[in-house]
Chain A
Amino acid sequence: MKKLLSFLIALCLLSGLVFVSSVAVFAEDGDNVYVIDKSGLLEDYDVFKYDVVLKEMSEERNEDLLILITDGDSAASLAEEYGVEVDAESPFYLQGIAENYYDSNGRGYGEDKNGILVLMRTGEPFENNICVCTNGDMDGEFGDEDIEKLVDSAGPYLNEGNISGAVSACIDAEEQFFKAKESSVIPTEEELFAEDEGKVYFYDHAKVLSDDETGRIRDELKSLSEEFGCDVVIATSAVDMDDDSFETMYYDNRGYGTGEERDGILTVIIIDGSNTPSTMLSLCGKLAYEDTQDVKNEFDPDYKYDLNSNNYYSAIRLCIEAERRYLEKYQESLGFHPVKKGVIATLIGTVIGAISTFTMKGKLKSVTRKNQAADYVVPGSFELRDSRDLFLYSHVTKTARPQNDSRSGGGGGGFHVSSGGVSHNSTRF
């Protein structure tokens, strides 16, 4: 009995020891670490930098996004830990390590342990040296195509030994995946523009107007375009896309725009049912060099009210009036305006005149106090006995970058050249 009791106690102690050791081994890969560099090849600063970025992405997406970097030796060590008994060149080798690492470190967000672990192995370019392990909701969503894109973008960097570049490419691929996930299903041009109608200036793809209303709007926009010598196009859309897609589909590929630079204005009213309607406005050609705020300022406050109240015809008419007022002012601004230019010239002249005259006045003063005695330092007498720089602490702050106020990421917002080759300056409101 005594022997049995002693044996049981010893067994408990041994189990406890094993448990504590496991915790100790994995404790270093503990919480709040998103870039784990077992190879030691990534610079400390890069580990810190990418860790901050991945932590940010993980918290925003409610996914645990990790990158584990190993070399041949550390991968072998992990394989031995987890009992992965396949050949190092087999695709299941890194997969086994990745899955075991993810599970044994308790990674994953929420009950379903959602997340993605990317395991990279540095060194000699084996064929399967990047493994992507998905968990929880990412299992079905981050599919083969997404994995292939990630591997194709990060692989070349890894093979040439640029670990930092590989990690950065990996993060970019994941970011692209999450952005694309948020986009709605985008229809093709063939689906949208079934017949070649020529320049009609208005498209009601959201089907919010009657045929009669559509006809009237088209006539009004045609005459507006002819009056100001630039194409003014308006469309309603039932799906949201990035700005570049709207511009290419509705303007560039439809042949809109006058003159060499294809001048005009494109307005797309997005009515997709799930959110309040929003407006994408794009100044095109020469107009792209103007400020979009000037157009927005011409919009009557009733425009938004009408959109939200489903008075689409009224809203579109207000849009046309706003764009007319803008074009009138724009045409006027193309004139010389001698008074305005005279004021500008006078202000600049005054500033330069003041600078030069005060400089001349300064030359009249030559008596100044001497606050130092540098001229009287004995040459060679300076002796630095002790010079110490002590690091105290550091802080990291982050500032949000200005984004377009668009729901689908607003690709192409601000001044840009669309994939159709036309200059655009777009905004959303």
Chain B
Amino acid sequence: MASQQLEYKCPCCGGAITFDSTLQKMKCPFCDTEFDVETLQQYDEELNHDAPDDMKWDVEAGDEWQSGETDGMRVYACKSCGGEIVGDETLAATTCPYCGNPVVLMGQFRGELKPDLIIPFKLDKEAAKRGLTEHLKGKRLLPKIFKDQNHIDEIKGLYVPFWLFDADSDASIRYKGTRSRSWSDSRYIYTETSYYSLIREGRVSFSHVPVDGSSKMEDELMESIEPFDFSEAVDFQTAYLAGYLADKYDVTAEQSVDRVNQRVKKSTEDAFLSTVTGYSGVYAENSNINLSNGKAKYALYPVWILNTTWNGQNYRFAMNGQTGKFVGDLPMDKGLFWKWLLGVGIGVAAVIFALLYLWWKMRG
């Protein structure tokens, strides 16, 4: 009968550990660290549980349009950037929300998936204009002329397509933790560092994690205006589109899965890390996350968009049409930058010089 030789790896240096009959403990011949047999067995069992992540989703989302639902909807195309948007038949001449150039009517909207849900616009154009004005306030390095030439009236309400993901995340994570304590006598400072293996297992659920389904909308821009309050979402009806534009999705749910996996995995790891307390240093050695009940839905979320060009560069601003959160990177006036740097620098230097002189005088 073949015998099976059990080998344990040293948690400290990775070498093969042997049993020291004098100590009656396991001891690593390479780094001389000693371990209890029972502790090593438990640690080895945990190492054997390590497995890769299993994150699968059911991405069948959206519905078929019912007869007559799309009758009032038209597709408009921008000859400049190629973007296609959907609007209702009453929409007059307008400009492309992506590049600001005029759009032309292409024809009747047909086909495509019907969204499952929509969050209707809660804030109007005036609120969006106020949002922009507030966003530009207090930015000392913003070029003045930028504030003046902003085409603020061209701000547009656009329904942006999103894929919303629900899942239950089951995780098993192993951390390495350290604790230190010190004491001293007149000649030496002693430091004892203890090493622990920390195992955490459990589950956490996610609901409606959004990933934007339009390649024309930068993911970073859409993520910056989160979160949306899903409690105000309603079943989709074309009537909500009246007066607004809507983008069609061109990024599928399958293509969005990687992004949502990253976010769900990070949040799961953060949630379990928060249960590890009382250690001076902690890092994750291994993490295994399995998703179950993973589902996707197709929704339209309200966003106010403004594109503006300044000095040959395109700047895009977005406001969450539900919460009013306004984002958008702004240009910097280099001249103002240097003026502030030198002004503050010289001012502070003068004050410090004066203080040094006073201090020297007081010292006598």
Contacts and interface: CB of A to CB of B under 8 A. Distances in A.
B346 A378 contact: no
Given A349-B352, A352-B345, A371-B266, A382 B202 contact: yes
B16 to A, nearest CB: 16
Interface in A364-391: 364-378, 381-391
A368 B226 CA distance: 11
A357 B345 CA distance: 10
B265 to A, nearest CB: 9
Interface in B256-282: 260, 262-264, 266-267, 270-272, 275
A392 B267 CA distance: 28
A56 B204 CA distance: 52
Interface in B54-78: none
Interface in B341-359: 341-350, 352-353, 356-357
Nearest to A337: B360
A260 B217 CA distance: 76
Given A175-B186, A367-B327, A400-B187, A382 B35 contact: no
A389 B275 CA distance: 11
Interface in B135-164: 135, 138-142
Interface in B218-236: 218-221, 223-224, 226-227
Contact of B329 (A348, A364, A376, A396): A364
Contacts of A350: 345, 349
B193 A395 contact: yes
A336 B357 contact: yes
Given A364-B142, A393-B35, A49 B344 contact: no
Contact of A341 (B262, B329, B348, B353): B353
Nearest to B346: A349
A360 B339 CA distance: 13
Contact of B263 (A360, A371, A390, A393): A371
The prevalent SS among residues of B at the interface is: mixed
A77 to B, nearest CB: 26
Contacts of B198: 388-390
Given A363-B139, A364-B330, A398-B188, A391 B194 contact: yes
A49 B183 contact: yes
A49 B235 CA distance: 69
A356 interface: yes
A340 to B, nearest CB: 10
Given A349-B352, A371-B263, A383-B203, A341 B195 contact: no
Chain A interface size range: 35 or more
Nearest to A409: B186
Contacts of B19: none
Contacts of A361: 141, 332, 337
Contacts of B42: 388, 390
A388 B199 contact: yes
Contacts of B199: 386-390
Contact of B348 (A353, A383, A386, A389): A353
Contacts of A386: 199-202
A389 B206 contact: no
B348 A53 contact: no
B92 to A, nearest CB: 31
A373 B263 contact: yes
Contacts of B139: 360, 363-364
A45 B218 CA distance: 58
A369 B348 contact: no
A21 interface: no
Nearest to A342: B353
Interface of A: 45, 49, 52-53, 56, 171, 175, 336, 341-342, 344-346, 348-350, 352-354, 356-357, 360-361, 363-378, 381-401, 403
29 contacts: A45-B181, A53-B185, A171-B185, A348-B348, A349-B347, A352-B345, A353-B340, A360-B140, A360-B340, A363-B139, A364-B141, A365-B330, A372-B266, A373-B209, A373-B260, A374-B267, A374-B270, A378-B204, A385-B203, A386-B199, A389-B197, A390-B43, A390-B196, A391-B194, A392-B12, A395-B33, A398-B191, A399-B188, A403-B187
The 9 closest A-B pairs by CB, nearest first: A349-B349, A353-B345, A381-B205, A386-B201, A353-B344, A349-B348, A394-B194, A345-B353, A378-B205
